[in-house]
């Protein structure tokens, strides 16, 4: 499965590796190929809107670039919508969902919050109402690994628990979608550092049959050599010593990182045979924003051309 041809891309990885930026960039890259895309976050985290330069999160789609919307889900908004659709009568649904007891009950069903948010996702690509946008691709800024795996199993757990009824049906539809290698791709985000790299390999191991759905590993914060690819640092260093001690110290520091990273880059490449690894450069720019996302999208498109 090619990354940008999927209907759903689930983006996961260790905390702090750049999942949100990567998810946004994947959506943008797909939109630039003419696909209508949404980048979706869960639990109203607010990180996707912030990354795309928006000041507020919103359940309603917000346009962030040509062909790309940002959507920030919360379980409560999704439940409202789901309740409305299931119970049909709006007044009844509202009365029901605003009930304190029902609220406590819905909090008490494990995985229900995950499930209704995934249900919304399904709705976005499958059967939106007439006045809603139909998305060709939904990119999900998913929870961190560890959580990520149990999150992918939410639907199966729910099916096991309910065994019949509307929640079972919903869970089963979601399960079919998320397991289908022709529809759902996994994008794993990592860093060329020891812990994230090892965690990525462990995740791939733990994926079992889902491994076939891994469409790409996106490696963030890759450090280019201090003097580029054409001039070896050793050569430049010899010329700079004495003349520019600060630059030499800086170049040495960068070079150490480059060498350190190469170990984890090759470890990943060996462990991920057959999966394209897309490298994204380290940017010294503070918090990432729309400009960085555009740069990442271009890199993603370029490296998919090559592979």
Partner 1 sequence: MTRLLVCAGLGGVGKTTTSAALALRCAQEGDRVVVLTIDPARRLADALGVERLGNEPVPVPLDAPGTLHALMLDRKATWDEVIRRYAPSDEIRDRLLGNRYYEQVSTRLGGSQEYMANEKLYQLVQSGAWDVVVLDTPPARQTVEFFRAPERMRGVFDQRVLEGLLRPSKGLLAMAGRRVTGLLRRIAGDHVLGDIAEFFSLTTGLSAGFRERHRAVHEWLHDRERTGYYLVTAARNTQSHDVREFLGVLEGRQMRLAGFFVNRTTRDPGLVEPIAELQPPAGVEGVVWGRALDGLVASAAAQRREARREGEEAAALVRSHGQVPVWMIPDLGEEVRDLRGLTLLARFLPPSPATVIA
Q: Which of residues 225-264 bind partner 1 (CB under 8 A)?
A: 226-228, 230-231, 235-236, 238-240, 243-247, 249-251, 253-254, 256-257, 260
Q: Which burial class, exposed, middle or buried, applies to 300 when counting CB atoms under 10 A from its CB (0-12, 13-18, 19+)?
A: buried
Binder among 61, 80, 146, 294 for partner 1 (CB under 8 A): 146
Given a contact cutoff of 8 angstroms between Cβ atoms, the answer to whether 70 and 62 are in contact is yes
Q: Which is nearer to partner 1, 157 or 303 (CB)?
A: 157
**Binding status of residue 205 toward partner 1 by CB under 8 A:** no
Part in contact with partner 1 (CB under 8 A); list of ranges 14-22, 64-72, 130-138, 261-269: 14-22
- Total number of residues shown for the chain: 307
**Binding status of residue 115 toward partner 1 by CB under 8 A:** no
**Binding status of residue 194 toward partner 1 by CB under 8 A:** yes
**Binding status of residue 103 toward partner 1 by CB under 8 A:** yes
Binder among 129, 286, 305, 306 for partner 1 (CB under 8 A): 286
Q: In the bound complex, what is the minimum distance in angstroms from residue 306's beta carbon to partner 1?
A: 22
Q: Which is nearer to partner 1, 258 or 298 (CB)?
A: 258
The Cα-based distances of 32 to 35, 44, 52, 251, 302 in angstroms read: 7, 26, 16, 36, 12
How many helical (H) and strand (E) elements, i.e. helices and strands, does the chain have?
13, 8
List strands edge to edge, sheet with 214-222: 62-65, 68-72, 37-41, 137-141, 8-13, 184-190, 214-222, 277-281
**Binding status of residue 90 toward partner 1 by CB under 8 A:** no
Binder among 34, 66, 131, 164 for partner 1 (CB under 8 A): 164
Binder among 34, 165, 209, 274 for partner 1 (CB under 8 A): 165
Residue with tokens 């990567």: 22
**Binding status of residue 104 toward partner 1 by CB under 8 A:** yes
Binder among 130, 287, 305, 306 for partner 1 (CB under 8 A): 287
By DSSP bridging, strand 8-13 and strand 68-72 are: unpaired
By rule CB under 8 A, what count of residues binds partner 1?
A: 74
Binder among 7, 14, 120, 265 for partner 1 (CB under 8 A): 14
Q: In the bound complex, what is the minimum distance in angstroms from residue 283's beta carbon to partner 1?
A: 8
What b/e sequence results for 104-118 when a residue is b if at least 16 CB atoms lie within 10 Å of its CB, and e otherwise?
eebeeeebbbbbbbb
Q: For the segment 52-81, give every residue that binds partner 1 (CB under 8 A).
A: none
d(CA 50, CA 20): 10
Q: In the bound complex, what is the minimum distance in angstroms from residue 272's beta carbon to partner 1?
A: 21
Binder among 2, 110, 128, 307 for partner 1 (CB under 8 A): 110
Q: Which residue, 137, 111, 93, 100, is CA-closest to 42?
A: 111
Q: In sequence order, what are the residues at sequence separation of 6 or more whose Cβ sits closer than 8 angstroms to the Cβ of residue 4?
A: 26, 29, 30, 33, 35, 137, 300, 301, 304
Q: Which is nearer to partner 1, 67 or 83 (CB)?
A: 83
Part in contact with partner 1 (CB under 8 A); list of ranges 83-91, 180-188, 205-213, 269-277: 83-91
């Amino acid at each position: 499965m090619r990354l940008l041809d999927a209907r759903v891309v689930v983006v996961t990885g260790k905390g702090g590796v750049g999942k949100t930026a990567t998810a946004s960039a994947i959506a943008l890259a797909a939109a630039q190929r003419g696909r209508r895309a949404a980048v979706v976050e869960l639990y109203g985290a607010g990180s996707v809107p912030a990354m795309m330069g928006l000041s507020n999160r919103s359940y309603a789609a917000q346009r962030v670039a040509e062909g790309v919307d940002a959507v920030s889900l919360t379980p409560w908004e999704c439940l409202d919508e789901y309740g409305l659709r299931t119970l049909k009568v709006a007044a009844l649904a509202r009365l029901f969902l605003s009930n304190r007891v029902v609220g406590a009950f819905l909090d008490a069903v494990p995985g229900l919050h995950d499930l209704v948010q995934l249900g919304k996702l399904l709705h976005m690509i499958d059967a939106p109402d007439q006045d809603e946008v139909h998305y060709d691709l939904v990119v999900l800024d998913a929870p961190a690994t560890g959580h990520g795996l149990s999150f992918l199993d939410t639907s199966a757990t729910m099916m096991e628990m309910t065994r019949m009824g509307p929640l079972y049906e919903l869970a089963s539809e979601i399960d079919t979608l998320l397991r289908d290698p022709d529809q759902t791709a996994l994008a794993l985000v990592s860093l060329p550092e020891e812990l994230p790299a090892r965690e990525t390999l462990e995740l791939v191991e733990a994926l079992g049959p889902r491994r076939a759905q891994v469409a790409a590993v996106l490696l963030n914060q890759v450090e280019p050599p201090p003097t580029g690819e054409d001039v070896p640092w050793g050569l430049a260093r010899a010329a700079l010593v004495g003349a520019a001690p600060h630059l030499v110290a800086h170049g040495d520091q960068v070079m150490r990182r480059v060498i350190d990273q190469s170990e984890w880059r090759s470890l990943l490449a060996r462990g991920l045979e057959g999966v394209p690894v897309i490298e994204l450069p380290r940017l010294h720019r503070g918090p990432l924003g729309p400009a960085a996302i555009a740069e990442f999208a271009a890199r993603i498109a370029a490296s998919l051309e090559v592979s």
